[in-house]
């Protein structure tokens, strides 16, 4: 009887030994497959919103990053086009799946949409969107510390490649509220098409390149990561085109600030704080805005404005460009333009406010050749160029006037002859523009 009772125990030991032997053989024969089969899955959930209203930045990054992971076999995609952007954008369908590989780790993404109907008739249904990331538990540390940061870096690069530069202008919603409205910047100006002095153009480009690469330097010396440029010179010399070229080159949005549209320094601060990083704040014709501000603050009716709290000052703007408020944001450029540098308040010109003073002067021969290439397609030499070069040495004509002359005919001979006529007329008439502050093409303030 005792021997019979021990039979089940023997069978159990034998079966355990067999299972162990089979597992050992499988581990030796198919280590990768069995390892994945035995691993527990890990699931990360990335919801669209974190808390009540803060949008999850990782969710936004995944919306763009996973567009490159859409399988060729996918049969359902949502496509949209907005009036402002003018390009097609892809949106994911519910339960859409994606596959990714990172350092030999197999990863699976899934996009989910959950809609909950509200029982209250006045409330709309709630919509919840989230991504799921599924991978083997053993890779948790590498996914968290390496893969997800990799996704964010790729997202930033893809965003820069696809970025459309925006032009923002202030709009007043009511007597107490303002907001920035944005449209795509359609200005085609580039540094290649700018009719600027070649040395000046090179200096500006080198300064921009140095600026965007010196984040650690600015932090080390305790300065806000910003750069200021004062563009001055006669009308038509390309100040606005240079602003557009800088924006297109860096892919920075432009915020066009009209100071006279604001009522107080408090409103000015709200408008400036609402600008984003990697942006250019532009105040054109700062000499005119300066005069308007002085009239408003010190002229008739100033007491009434002060009593109503409607007062904006030049110092309020300057405090944002180099005071404590200047640290509210990173990688920003401030650009002031003026036709008359000599009329500016000395406070605007002091070192530390505008890092470079750039004189946008009359058209040079090098600038003319750029315009001839732009408008007439002449990339080499033309028999009339020597005569034009001689006239430009003793004639003050703006790039805008040269461009206007070249646009009058598609026939290069006719257009160039028309320009020669214009230069002769300008040479005899002279030019009324005078600015005592325009002695040098470029001034640096370190």
For 143-200, the pLDDT digits (tens) are 999 999 999 999 988 888 878 899 999 988 888 888 899 898 989 999 999 999 899 9
* Cα 368 from chain centre: 31
Cα–Cα distance, 232 to 234 (Å, whole number): 7
Confidence tier at 345 by pLDDT (50, 70, 90) = confident
Going from the C-alpha of 108 to that of each of 98, 100, 203, 265, 388, the distances in angstroms are 6, 6, 49, 52, 66
pLDDT value, residue 31: 60
Confidence tier at 364 by pLDDT (50, 70, 90) = very high
Give me the residues paired with residue 229 across strands. 335, 356
pLDDT value, residue 327: 62
313, 315, 320, 325 alpha-carbon torsion, rounded to 10°: -110
Confidence tier at 307 by pLDDT (50, 70, 90) = very low
371: its two tokens: 């315009």
Give me the residues paired with residue 111 across strands. 96, 131
CB 260 within 8 A of CB 292: yes
Which residue's entry shows tokens 């053989």? 25
The Cα angle at residue 205 between residues 211 and 395, in degrees rounded to 5: 140
In the chain, % of residues over pLDDT 70: 74
* Element spanning 444, H or E: strand 442-444
pLDDT above 90 for 311 = no
As a whole number, mean pLDDT of residues 120-149 equals 83
Q: Are strands 442-444 and 356-359 parallel, antiparallel or unpaired?
A: antiparallel
As a whole number, mean pLDDT of residues 12-25 equals 67
Q: Are strands 253-256 and 279-283 parallel, antiparallel or unpaired?
A: parallel
Which residue's entry shows tokens 């703007």? 317
| Start-end of CATH 3.40.50.300 domains in the chain | 166-362+439-444
Q: Give Dmax over CA atoms of the chain in angstroms.
A: 132
First-to-last CA distance in the chain? 102
How many CB atoms within 10 Å of residue 33? 10
CB 345 within 8 A of CB 264: no
Average per-residue pLDDT in the chain? Answer: 81
Count of residues making up the chain? 446
**3-state SS, residue 345:** coil
Which residue's entry shows tokens 């006279």? 260
The CATH number of domain 166-362+439-444, selected from 1.10.600.10, 3.40.140.10, 3.40.50.300, 3.40.190.10: 3.40.50.300
The Cα angle at residue 86 between residues 81 and 92, in degrees rounded to 5: 30
pLDDT above 60 for 13 = yes
CB 383 within 8 A of CB 417: no
pLDDT above 70 for 39 = no
Q: Which residue has the higher pLDDT, 421 or 349?
A: 421
CB 134 within 8 A of CB 107: yes
How many CB atoms within 10 Å of residue 81? 10
CB 78 within 8 A of CB 92: yes
> Residue 331's closest CA among 266, 286, 274, 281?
281
Q: What's the order of all strands across the beta sheet hosting 41-47?
A: 41-47, 126-136, 105-116, 96-102
Name the pTM for this structure: 0.69
Max avg pLDDT among 286-295, 348-357, 364-373: 364-373
**3-state SS, residue 98:** strand
Q: Which residue has the higher pLDDT, 203 or 159?
A: 203
> Residue 199's closest CA among 359, 340, 36, 44?
359
What is the DSSP-derived secondary structure letter of residue 144?
I
> Residue 441's closest CA among 203, 273, 241, 213?
203
3-state secondary structure 162-183: HCCCEEEEEEEEECCEEEEEEE
Q: Are strands 49-50 and 54-55 parallel, antiparallel or unpaired?
A: antiparallel
The Cα angle at residue 272 between residues 346 and 176, in degrees rounded to 5: 110
């Amino acid at each position: 009887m005792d021997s019979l009772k021990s039979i089940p125990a023997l069978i159990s030991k034998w079966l355990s030994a067999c299972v162990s032997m089979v597992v050992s053989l499988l581990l030796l024969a198919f280590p990768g497959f069995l390892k994945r089969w035995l691993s527990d899955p890990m699931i990360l959930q990335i919801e669209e919103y974190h808390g009540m209203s803060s949008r999850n930045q990782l969710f936004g990054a995944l919306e763009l990053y996973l567009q490159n992971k859409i399988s060729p076999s996918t049969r359902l995609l949502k496509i949209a086009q907005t009036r402002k952007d003018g390009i097609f954008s892809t949106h994911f369908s519910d339960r859409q799946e994606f596959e990714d590989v990172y350092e030999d780790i197999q990863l699976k993404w899934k996009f989910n949409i959950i809609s909950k109907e509200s029982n209250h008739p006045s409330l709309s249904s709630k919509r919840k969107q989230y991504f799921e990331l599924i991978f083997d538990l053993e890779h948790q540390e590498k996914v968290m510390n390496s893969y997800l940061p990799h996704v964010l870096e790729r997202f930033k690069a893809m965003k820069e490649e696809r970025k459309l530069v925006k032009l923002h202008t202030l709009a007043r919603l009511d007597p107490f509220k303002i907001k920035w409205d944005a449209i795509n910047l359609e200005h085609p100006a580039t540094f290649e098409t700018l009719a600027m002095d070649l040395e000046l153009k090179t200096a500006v480009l080198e300064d921009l390149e140095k600026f965007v690469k010196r984040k650690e330097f600015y932090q080390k010396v305790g300065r806000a990561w910003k750069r200021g440029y004062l563009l001055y010179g006669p009308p038509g010399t390309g100040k606005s085109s240079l602003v557009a070229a800088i924006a297109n080159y860096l892919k920075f949005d432009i915020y066009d600030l009209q100071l006279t549209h604001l009522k107080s320094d408090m409103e000015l601060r709200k408008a400036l704080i609402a600008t984003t990083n990697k942006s250019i704040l532009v105040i054109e014709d700062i000499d005119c805005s300066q005069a308007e501000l002085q009239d408003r603050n010190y002229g008739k009716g100033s007491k009434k404005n002060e009593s109503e709290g409607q007062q904006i000052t030049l110092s309020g703007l300057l405090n944002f460009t180099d005071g404590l408020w200047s640290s509210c944001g990173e990688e920003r450029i401030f650009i002031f333009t003026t036709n008359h540098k000599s009329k500016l308040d000395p406070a605007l010109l002091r070192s530390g406010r505008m890092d470079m003073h750039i004189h946008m002067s009359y058209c040079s021969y090098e600038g003319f050749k750029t315009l001839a290439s732009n408008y007439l397609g002449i990339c080499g030499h033309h028999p009339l160029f020597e005569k034009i070069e001689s006239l430009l040495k003793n004639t003050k004509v703006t790039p805008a006037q040269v461009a206007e002359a070249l646009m009058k005919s598609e026939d290069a001979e006719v257009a160039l002859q028309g320009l020669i006529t214009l230069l002769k007329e300008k040479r005899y008439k002279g030019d009324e523009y005078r600015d005592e502050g325009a002695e040098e093409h470029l001034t640096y303030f370190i």
